[in-house]
Structure 1
């Protein structure tokens, strides 16, 4: 895989030529405040953490792909678009100029498509610098209209929750079956997920969800791509000028809200053989996938405990120096699915997921993020998320999953999945 080439003059036989202009924007307003009202849920994109990141709206270009070749086809499409783009970037920072946002299904046989989206308007911020990017198919693009802060979103009303494809009882049964399979030596770990359907009395404004998630979960990456919305604490991979980083999460305990008790729980999590075993599998799978693309790598000997408002995770930050020109999307494809969302050994664990889970995850637990024309970008794992129904803006399906190992207890895993559903459930509340 070669680096995405710099833009050059378009050829007559190339696909659509995009014209891109990026200028500095004097603004201290929150990025999410720029997302306009009265847009369809799939017309807004976001990748924001602690105030920095990217938001966008409008659609200049889109691409879809399915099945096993979805990553390869998406990368090829993006390389072609990047090769023939006409870009005037007055900012020159990661995320300025031409970027795409993407989300990919977890499974090769999912009925969902992988999506790449190039918004027509993007507002970005990094290290105190804010910019505005406009993308158009009009070769006469010359002026950029300063975006305005949008009206505050209205909260969802009359939200009701119902079991999805996998009820809590079904999930407990699947966990018990998985523990038996692990005991029989089929796999060491398998990650099983469940879903929950939320329906409101009217259309749900995705901006409400994004703002609530950003306010309450500042350690996460708050994302939206093609109707998939969430706040992931897990960075699958970031490529930034030759430096590769990945945050691995595996091993979870629910918080009580009492600081003293939570401190004790964090200590027990850090000593838990079950959780340390689960975490080791996940870290190992990431290190092995990155090794062919790295000249050096730092893998900490022990994880740290990441504190989120609802749960605590064992976490390890893996860092590496790039040894080739593989793009961030290529790296994401090589990492997916990691043991954190699939299991160990991965191939057999994914087969077991299809056998025991009884649902199509869609783009849940797949890569979600963004990439620029040089292949730099950031991709998270689409966790703590929900997917809007394609034909009903008042309905969204929420997902959560847990890593199952030999010591897993079905009822405890149901409780853990409930804890992982809390961010999206709370984001739908109106108070």
Structure 2
């Protein structure tokens, strides 16, 4: 049973206990059932969680800042015992927020009842279990890892996708290309420098979709990305919106993409061509400049590389720039939380365009769909304000009304030199991880 949705003025009182456990190995395999399964895993580290101790759902332009205020109230009243003291131990919440202010799926934060985590440290791999209990509620109990080993939870059998079929989303491929052509015309007319347009497709399985299966396939195939599962949104994103850890922040900009061929020699040549592409370099430069401008009020200093690198993923290659900074404390020596910084950075030029306000308005006008939480911030934050939020890319949203159906998304940056057919091909490449996860 889900905990009631709460507001910033009615934060729950939580009792939190974290203790060390033997290494459970594969984290996603520790999820006992698909209902309410939560995951944040990269390179085998991170955590999975289930159950619900509390939830915050917001809407409108202030949804993320309202969630941050609610989280501050939750952490102020929580009773926390943390014997581990690593990022992800102790009290935490996972969140996924809608892309724009008018979406019908604005998102919010979920505080789980049970968390199982593991992290590689200089002393070796360490693992833990956290139980989070609302005031007056029963302890999660033995089947929720009250045993010595967190993996003692009763695990329901996995349900694999079967007989998957595909259907068009909000627009046909041909109609979407016409929309891209219209956006190119408006960019050349000077309305914007860059507009990011996305498209959706639907997949339907003969069996209800098990988020554990999809997450496990993502984590295995794309270990260098962030595999996530939050409230029915599941994917593997390569793009870090912001990480906050001990007063430092980091963000990764991805803009400019080319599909991999599977031929190593050819892909090296394509990577070199991508690094020289004026169209892709222009798109990337807009995204980096926009992020640096949005980050500036929060940092005392920042490092913004002048030249991007090429990030190699199994299906595509991206131009990538990793931006880092030292947070600026306020007059009382407090740093802004990772969620507050994420609220200021979103939407980046990589998912909206530039200038930001004009581009997002054009997205709403041209794109022809409600993105929901696609391309919005997804991640986690701890009681100290540290955490990670990425951009929800390479993902799908399981239909709340029919768990056999999932809506998949992919987008690309449109600039004056864009070609509609090439942009459609780019979205097809970006849809490949979700298709692979569904087909196995």
Q: TM-score normalized by structure 2?
A: 0.92
Q: 1:221 aligned to 2:218?
A: no
**Which residue of the partner structure matches residue 76 of structure 1?**
69
Cα deviation for residue 338 of structure 1 reads 0.5
Please list every run of at least 4 consecutive aligned residues from structure 1 whose deviation after the TM superposition is greater than 4 angstroms: 138-143
Q: 1:364 aligned to 2:374?
A: yes
Match of 1:147 among 132, 146, 150: 150
> Distance between the aligned counterparts of 1:79 and 1:377, measured in 2?
14
Deviations 1:230-287 (CA, angstroms, capped at 9, x unpaired): 0000000000011100011000000000000000000000000000000011111111
Cα deviation for residue 379 of structure 1 reads 0.1
> Distance between the aligned counterparts of 2:327 and 2:73, measured in 1?
23
> Distance between the aligned counterparts of 1:170 and 1:253, measured in 2?
23
> Distance between the aligned counterparts of 1:101 and 1:407, measured in 2?
39
Match of 1:397 among 375, 395, 407: 407
> Distance between the aligned counterparts of 2:47 and 2:194, measured in 1?
35
Cα deviation for residue 62 of structure 1 reads 0.9
**Which residue of the partner structure matches residue 355 of structure 1?**
365
Closer, same or farther: CA 14–343 of 1 in aligned 2, 3 Å? closer
CA contact (8 A) 1:386 1:399 kept: yes
**Which residue of the partner structure matches residue 199 of structure 2?**
194
Q: 1:411 aligned to 2:415?
A: no
**Which residue of the partner structure matches residue 48 of structure 1?**
41
Q: 1:242-321 alignment to 2 at 5 Å?
A: 242-321=247-326
CA contact (8 A) 1:14 1:84 kept: no
Q: 1:108-257 alignment to 2 at 5 Å?
A: 108-127=101-120, 128-138=125-135, 144-145=146-147, 146-148=149-151, 150=155, 153-257=158-262
> Distance between the aligned counterparts of 1:280 and 1:232, measured in 2?
21
Match of 1:87 among 80, 91, 98: 80
Deviations 1:365-393 (CA, angstroms, capped at 9, x unpaired): 00000001111000000000000111111
> Distance between the aligned counterparts of 2:308 and 2:368, measured in 1?
33
**Which residue of the partner structure matches residue 4 of structure 1?**
none
Deviations 1:206-247 (CA, angstroms, capped at 9, x unpaired): 111001101111110000111100000000000001110001
CA contact (8 A) 1:213 1:230 kept: yes
> Distance between the aligned counterparts of 2:419 and 2:158, measured in 1?
41
Cα deviation for residue 153 of structure 1 reads 2.4
Match of 1:332 among 327, 337, 342: 342
**Which residue of the partner structure matches residue 26 of structure 2?**
30
1:197 counterpart SS class: strand
Closer, same or farther: CA 24–168 of 1 in aligned 2, 3 Å? same
> Distance between the aligned counterparts of 2:324 and 2:178, measured in 1?
38
Deviations 1:176-201 (CA, angstroms, capped at 9, x unpaired): 00100010000000000000100011
Q: 1:18 aligned to 2:18?
A: no
> Distance between the aligned counterparts of 2:160 and 2:11, measured in 1?
41
> Distance between the aligned counterparts of 1:142 and 1:359, measured in 2?
40
Cα deviation for residue 154 of structure 1 reads 3.3
Cα deviation for residue 141 of structure 1 reads 5.1
> Distance between the aligned counterparts of 1:15 and 1:48, measured in 2?
28
Cα deviation for residue 28 of structure 1 reads 4.3
CA contact (8 A) 2:21 2:150 kept: no
